Amino acid sequence: MTFLSAAMLAGIFAFNIPLIIHLFNRSKFKVVRWGAMHLLDSVVRKNTRRIKLEQILLLMVRAMIPVALALAMAGPVATSLRAISADTPSGLVVMLDASFSMMAGEGESSHFELAQREARRLIEALPRGSTATVLLIGHQTVALTDRPTTDLARLLDRLDAAEPTHTAAQMVPAIEYGLEVASRLPHARRDVVLLSDFQMVDWPTGMEDSLSRLTAPYRDSATAPRLSLIPVGGPIRENLAVMDKQLSSGVAAVGRPMRVEVAVRNFGLDRSAPVRGDILIDGQRRSGIRFDAMEPGELRTSVSESPLIFTEEEVGHRLIEVTIDADRLWADNAWLGSVEVVGRIPVLLVEGRRLGEFGQGASDYLYDLLQPFAAAGEGRERDLFVVDRVPMGDLRTVDLSRYRVVVICDGPAPAAEWLERLTAWVREGGGLLLFPGEQMLAQREQWNAMLLEGDVPLLPARIDGASTATGDDEPLASVLVESYQHAALRLFNDPARGDLSVLRAWKWLNLRPDREGDATISSPGRTIARFADGQPFLVERAVGEGRVMLSAVSADTGWSSMPIRRIFLPLVQQLVADLGATTVSVYRPELGDRIAVAAPGELIGREVEVVFWPLREPGTAAQADDAVRRTVRIEDRQGRGLVPLGVAEVPGVHRIRGPENYSRVVVLNAPRSESDLRRIEPERLVALAEAADGGRYDDSGGFLAASRRQHGREMWVWFLAVAVGLLFIEPWLQQWMVGRRRE
């Protein structure tokens, strides 16, 4: 014998209530002496035994009533009576995999639709009075009803209306929650059935131990919930996914051609057919792309067939979308992003030495390389940058708000009067590029103290002196060729566009980004390019809304051959253009996360406009009419402003615009881990079921046939019947006893 709600057994102690009342009433009598009492002694002696027996019998009946009620409410199950009737109510928790991969399928139905049908069969087969619920598994586990219900018709309606998510499945917390829900169901038989495609990435190595741990607390109970695994669908033969896109330039400039490089992987089991795709800007097709046939597992890149050229009217952030017409798993056939289109970028070039004849200043080469058409006498209108040059001493009088980028070449230690202005300008979105020289090297302690050790560190790394090489016994330093991840350097991943290894340096700063990787620092410095020996060549730090870059070599020929190499022009232009394009922060959270975008504290309480462009099936571009607009108030989180956007549920792009030029972009793409549709082997599925002390079935029919196993017989109805019977017996017995006394 076991009990579904053992806590209710405490009600047995209620039998003391009639006992206490009986004893209390027994003590309440008054002795009255009268003369004829002796005449009744014989009658009293004759009836005393009978009266005591009647009182004991009545007391037992009254005490058994709360005992029977407590036993009925505790849900007794006679485990020795192994057969369970087919019409006995039971409890069922259906766990339905609603992750992104369930949108795939062969034929007319997706795996999610197949799982819905199997779930419907399971629920429809439940006897009357059964309790059931359905849990959708994604990044979070969501129940279709507030609590398990006996209204199975309403549950089926909600099941039919359910949709898969664009998120990855979190199986361990979902199963833990499902077992917990099932353990509270008021039935002897409690089943948890998981319907899934059993994608390999959702069931990593070690899941057997996790399932064993999750089910261990319930194994000692005769009415423990039992986990059953039912796979749906079959192997997917075809699935291509757009993995990433990269721009040929760190910034999209008006009138300058820009190509898009796209990576696609074949996640299918068969060799893919050639596929074509489109590149769209704000929903309008601007170029095409083509991929040849790919072997299973192959990753292939291709470049847009024609360059993208932007106009003055397109200046600002634009939605860029890459789509391919491949297969029914449409959300991974597209990749969303945001590109900032800029006009001419105003740059302030600060000379740390002196302005005079060419070669005397540290910024002479940069001045010509940033505006090559003007230097060649072809007019400044064709140059991307509008360059003004001032000596370091005049920096305190310059209006920095006129410029997007400031480049300082071999500057002396900064004066306090302009350091505060420079820091504020960077934090508001400015880009600062620093080139060293003998003057900066000599005053490195002042640079470290004022720009690294202050309240707002600007330097991306500590300057620890300099290294030199003669080129004879000591080889000159060269830049390491690698796969560059920084947007400003991706251009050089293609050797045809420039080889940074040709640069040679005979003197360079020893840079130590000592805060790099420190989790306690909100914006640590990071190395974006290295010398061949691993020392930093370029380092960067985010400061507020802006960024600071520091080079290890000077911008003139005093330390390296860099200024006279042909590659120096695209390198400098890429760095400056990238810094000039950072006026808007772009966030890329995971689908399923709760999004809250940072905002300046002074904007707390003010409203921003949020425009969301969702990705539309079948991967076509989001049109202007599809945009969802709303107004959101900036919240106060311990003095920091946050724009709450809620849970990210579907792929798309959020654009946030607010007062004082506040602007943010949030890009959401479907998780590419879900594009890998390989399924676990049947043998491992059996091992998972055994680890959970459960079962594995091919379909709902197999589960229903096997569910007629032995669970025990529920006995609460019998105890309730006893309690009701005693309630009728007690007044009848009392009346019968009174009648006998009258006789």
| Residues 372 and 476 placed together within one structural domain of the fold | yes
Give the per-residue pLDDT at 24: 67
Give per-residue pLDDT as tens, 617-660: 754 444 546 788 999 999 998 888 899 998 888 898 988 988 88
To which H or E segment does residue 121 belong? helix 111-124
Last residue of a domain, one of 298, 316, 342: 342
Kindly state the average pLDDT of the residues 191-215: 92
More confident residue, 52 or 659: 659
Domain-located, residue 673: no
- Calculate the alpha carbon distances from 702 to 39, 118, 366, 409 in Å: 83, 11, 75, 76
In a domain, 500, yes or no: yes
Closest to 85 measured CA to CA, from 713, 702, 706: 713
65 and 163 in contact (C-beta within 8 Å)? no
**Claim to verify: residue 542 and residue 691 sit in the same structural domain:** no
What confidence category does residue 606 fall into, taking pLDDT thresholds of 50, 70 and 90? Answer: very high
Mean pLDDT for the stretch of residues 156-173: 93
**190 and 98 in one domain?**
yes
Q: Which residues contact 348 (CB under 8 A, 6 or more apart)?
A: 387, 388, 389, 390, 398, 400, 402, 403, 405, 406, 407
Please give the radius of gyration of the chain, using alpha carbons only, rounded to the nearest integer. 39
With residue 580 as reference, give the H or E element that holds it. Answer: helix 568-580
Distance CA(88)–CA(488), nearest Å, equals 69
For residue 670, being part of any structural domain is answered with: no
Do residues 502 and 514 share a domain? yes
Q: What is the DSSP string of 88-110?
A: S--EEEEEEE-SGGGG--STTS-
- Give yes or no for residue 78 having a pLDDT over 80: no
Segments forming the whole domain that contains residue 635: 593-665
Average pLDDT over residues 398-419: 87
> Is residue 54 predicted with pLDDT exceeding 80?
no
Nearest one of 229, 231, 246 to 484, comparing CA atoms: 246
Output the pLDDT for position 82.
Answer: 47
**pLDDT score of 288:** 94
Per-residue pLDDT, averaged over 215-243, amounts to 88
pLDDT at 42: 59
Query: Is 567 part of a structural domain of the chain?
Result: yes
Task: Report the Cα 427 to chain-centroid distance in Å.
Answer: 28
User: Does 723 share its domain with 709?
Assistant: no
Paired sense of beta strands 141-143 and 131-137, if any: antiparallel
The mean per-residue pLDDT over the stretch 503-531 comes to 76
Tell me, yes or no, whether 82 lies in a domain.
no
Closest CA to 590 of 53, 139, 165, 161: 139
Count how many domains the chain has.
5
Q: What is the mean pLDDT of residues 334-341?
A: 86
- Residue 743 belongs to some domain of the structure: no
Instruction: Note the pLDDT of residue 517.
Output: 46
Q: Which of 78-87, 223-232, 626-635 has the lowest mean pLDDT?
A: 78-87
Residues 543 and 404 in one domain: yes
Residues 614 and 654 in one domain: yes
List the structure tokens of 453: 């050790």
631 assigned to some structural domain: yes
CA terminus-to-terminus distance, the chain: 46
Residue identified by tokens 């992987």 is: 265
Using alpha carbons, select from 72, 60, 74, 52 the residue that is nearest to residue 7.
Answer: 74
The residue among 551, 580, 609 that closes a domain is: 580
Where does a domain end: 315, 342, 369?
342
Token pair for residue 308?
Answer: 């993208």
Task: Say which CATH number the domain at 516 has.
Answer: 3.40.50.880
pLDDT of residue 585: 65
pLDDT, tens digit, 9 for 90 and up, residues 245-272: 887 766 788 888 888 989 999 999 999 9
- Measure the CA–CA gap between 652 and 337, rounded to whole angstroms: 9
Domain of 163, CATH number, reads 3.40.50.410
Same domain for 495 and 380, yes or no, is yes
Q: 586 in a domain, yes or no?
A: no
pLDDT digits (tens, 9 = 90+) for 89-132: 889 999 999 999 999 987 788 999 999 999 999 999 998 889 99
Strands (E), 236-283: 240-247, 252-253, 260-266, 275-281
Q: What pLDDT score does 49 carry?
A: 65
Looking at the fold, whether 602 and 465 belong to one and the same domain comes out as no
Residues 401 and 434 in one domain: yes
- Cα distance between residue 61 and residue 731, in whole Å: 10
Residues 160 and 59 in one domain: no
**Same domain, yes or no: 381 and 500:** yes
Instruction: Indicate the average pLDDT of the chain.
Output: 83
pLDDT of residue 497: 77
pLDDT of 563 over the 70 cut: yes
Band (pLDDT 50/70/90 cuts) for residue 15 is low
